[in-house]
Structure formats: structure tokens, C-alpha cells
Amino acid sequence: ARSELEEVVRRLEAGGVTLEESLSLWERGEALAKVCQAFLAGARARLDSTPVDSAGADTAEDPAR
């Protein structure tokens, strides 16, 4: 999603597209930005819920063990 969003921004900044195409790109960019924001929010929530000790080390059990 991030790579596609970067491409949308690049195309909008470059210009040379019709108004209709610009609107379509803008809408796609908005949708992609929401996907990226949701991903970041999920990652932040997982980090916030990971217990750490006073030294900052992750104290969650290692599922590989």
C-alpha cells in the first residue's frame, strides 16, 4: 500500500493528468493512506501491549520455545 501511495503522490505531483484522473488518483491515495494508518495503528497497539521489564527488554514468552 505504501509503495502504491508513493506512486500516486508522484503522479499527482508530476501533473499532466486530467482533472478526472487527478480526482481518481486522490481518492485512491486517500484509501491507501487509510490502509497504511490502520497498519501503523495495529503495530502501535501490539507494541503498547507487549510487557517490558525495567531495562526495556521484552518479557513476553517466546512462542518458538
C-alpha 8 chain-centroid distance? 14
Does residue 63 have a pLDDT over 90?
no
Prediction pTM value: 0.69
Q: What is the torsion angle, in degrees rounded to the nearest 10, for the CA atoms of residue 34, residue 58, residue 61 and residue 65?
A: 100
> What percent helix, strand, coil does the chain show, rounded to 5?
70, 5, 30
- Looking at the chain, the whole-number percentage of residues with pLDDT higher than 90 is 75
Cell match 508522484: residue?
10
Q: What are phi and psi of 58, to 5 degrees?
A: -65, 125
